[in-house]
Structure 1
Amino acid sequence: MANPLSIWAVSDDKAGNAGPALGLAEAVARLTPAQVSVRTVRWKGRIGRLPWFLNPFPLTVLAGGTGIGPPWPDVWIAAGRATLPLSLHLRRWSGGRTLVVQIQNPRAPHAAFDLIVAPRHDEIAGPNVLSITGSPHRITPERLAEANARYASLIDPLPRPRAALLVGGRSKAHDLSDARARTLAADLRRAVLESGGSLMTTFSRRTPDSARRILTEALADLPGFIWDGDSENPYFAMLAA
């Protein structure tokens, strides 16, 4: 392989997929010289809603501006269902030059990948499957220290104990209903007021608008801050604090 390696972190840009793909790519780059590039998969029309086996010629239906095409990287690290139509062909397209890594259970033939990095709760096994606890991520001591210093003026004045509230939302298995949001808000208010601490809050793109509104209205007067969703997300600084 080339030195430095070329590594693509490929996803649909959803945080739950983009973070693990980039995190694993950055981890490789800490061990050996590498150039990491981010590639975002976008499909024309409704193609992206189809299962991978109904997209047999994926390069022809990619939306413009993805930067996905030859020359292929030395290492392809992909996460998310949207990447599968491409990942499944990469070894053939590259003539076997590209190491193809898929994060999470692909629910596709394992033999198409050089390595599958799947959380243990996916309960899959095989000679090319690496089971891990949780998911790859971008959190390192250095990144936390840098974020903590960058947001010091915002966070240092906050009273302790400091709590970080990372609000998710709808998925196939879960929902964040208005009733649950109200209960959560009441529990959090009580905890912060009783402890004399502060609350740092951030929402995800999956958080329902009504739940976001309920939580924001209930928590806005507490010591701390609520990320506005427009500026850079202080996620790493919240973890550091």
Structure 2
Amino acid sequence: MAEPPRAWALLGRRAGDNRQVLTLAEAMGLTFEAKPLRFNPGRALPTLLQRGSLHTLTLDSRALIAPPWPDVVIASGKRTAPVALWIRMASGRRTKLVHVGRPWAPLSWFDLVVTTAQYGLPDRPNVIRNALPLAHPPAAAGAIPPDLAALPAPRLALLAGGSSRPLILDAAAARRFVEAGLARAEASGGALLVATSPRTGAGAVRAIRETLGRAQVPHRLSVFGEGDNAYRGFLAAADAFLVTEDSAAMAAEAAMTGRPVAIHPLPRRPDAWMRIVLGCRAAMGVTPWTRRLFDALVAWGAVTSIRDIGAFAGVMAREGLLDGGPAARDRGAQELAAAAAAVRRLADAART
């Protein structure tokens, strides 16, 4: 009997990217091997200059990239793209490449790109644009931890992300975020559940603690990296969510619980390069011809698409995915199943 197709999941430094890669790898129903990669200072080189290369990997990570070559590689983030391209070349161009999110490279490098609206990728035959990031729907509420179940309802969960240019979650923004949640909890007579993430900065965490220290409503705080992580328990126990707008993944996970989600806006501080790209995007969006030219530059990897979280939130709002009920859970499950099926087809094609 022929061996079933094999896959590699290339893991980088971003936990959110890795979760999506692993979620897709698990959903495709094939044998896969996770390859956690570490990078040397050469990672700062533009992706187009690196092309297919292992030069930015540390020596121990290079040792992980060895035959037998997989039928399909699933990756995310700009650092993994040159590694994935090198694997395809080493395999005699047999290995298929799947990228999740924003590739930071020519779209033609990949057999499939699974993305969401915030990355602004142009329409291409190898691009799937989903409404939600790839995620398994949270377990059905029912196993609510007893200490959370004892809190008065409605329980509002505040999910804090972190700074992600141009969005800023500093101490002042974190304080306003918690104050907004406290105002809602005080008006409803319920409780507050506050969770931070790996990206929440130390200053923001201090501000959250200080603001909660003055709270007059029952509350719980779970700081990522300190003690047991109560994030999953908060997803089960919350009756509603308030999520900082930087985190599409947390907004999607919250929405898939079937409870209503509100997006909390953060201040914007674009740097000089972002202003240039945004200016080019605005200038080239004037006519259909210039819009096509800008899309072509993005597709070629000459211009990096700017993450526009407002575009993601807009899709979620327009399609009713933030309103509660089964819509987000059903949509997420359908999109994940469709992406997994597309990856399986690629893996099968690699063996023919």
**If the TM-score is normalised by the length of the shorter chain, which range does it land in?**
0.7 to 0.9
Q: CA RMSD in A?
A: 2.5
1:131-168 per-residue CA deviation (whole Å, 9 max, x = no partner) reads 1113212x22xx524x963x623432232212221111
Runs of 4+ in 1 over 6 A off after TM superposition: none
What is the distance in 2 between the residues matched to 1:153 and 1:36?
37
Distance 1:173 1:148, change over 3 A: farther
What is the distance in 2 between the residues matched to 1:64 and 1:158?
51
In structure 2, the residue matched to 1:42 is 38
Residue 91 of structure 1, aligned match among 73, 88, 93: 88
Equivalence map 1:201-240=2 (5 Å): 201-220=194-213, 222-230=217-225, 231-240=227-236
Where relative contact order (Cα < 8 A, 6+ residues apart) is larger, the structure is 2
**Code of the aligned partner of 2:84:** S
Which secondary structure does the structure 2 equivalent of 1:58 belong to? coil
Larger displacement relative to structure 2 (210-219 or 59-68): 59-68
TM normalised by structure 1 equals: 0.82
Contact 1:89 1:112 in 2 (8 A): no
In structure 1, the residue matched to 2:8 is 8
What is the distance in 1 between the residues matched to 2:93 and 2:34?
21
Which secondary structure does the structure 2 equivalent of 1:144 belong to? coil
Residue 176 of structure 1, aligned match among 156, 164, 169: 169
TM normalised by structure 2 equals: 0.59
Report the Cα offset of residue 234 of structure 1: 3.4
What is the distance in 1 between the residues matched to 2:161 and 2:8?
27
Which secondary structure does the structure 2 equivalent of 1:212 belong to? helix
Which secondary structure does the structure 2 equivalent of 1:189 belong to? helix
- 2:98 matched to 1:101? yes
Residue 166 of structure 1, aligned match among 151, 159, 170: 159
Contact 2:8 2:72 in 1 (8 A): yes
- 2:97 matched to 1:68? no
Residue 130 of structure 2, aligned match among 129, 132, 146: 132
Report the Cα offset of residue 238 of structure 1: 2.3
Count of aligned pairs between the two proteins: 230
Distance 1:216 1:64, change over 3 A: farther
Which secondary structure does the structure 1 equivalent of 2:203 belong to? helix
1:157-192 per-residue CA deviation (whole Å, 9 max, x = no partner) reads 232212221111211221013322222222222222
1:14-53 per-residue CA deviation (whole Å, 9 max, x = no partner) reads 1221121112112212xxxx22332222112x11222223
What is the distance in 1 between the residues matched to 2:142 and 2:50?
44
In structure 1, the residue matched to 2:149 is 156
Unmatched runs of 5 consecutive residues or more in structure 1 = none
Report the Cα offset of residue 79 of structure 1: 0.7
What is the distance in 1 between the residues matched to 2:49 and 2:228?
37
Unmatched runs of 5 consecutive residues or more in structure 2 = 238-352
Report the Cα offset of residue 196 of structure 1: 2.4
What is the distance in 2 between the residues matched to 1:71 and 1:148?
44
What is the distance in 2 between the residues matched to 1:208 and 1:108?
29
Distance 1:69 1:161, change over 3 A: farther
**Code of the aligned partner of 1:28:** M
**Code of the aligned partner of 1:58:** S
Which secondary structure does the structure 1 equivalent of 2:80 belong to? helix
**Code of the aligned partner of 2:134:** P
What is the distance in 2 between the residues matched to 1:85 and 1:159?
51
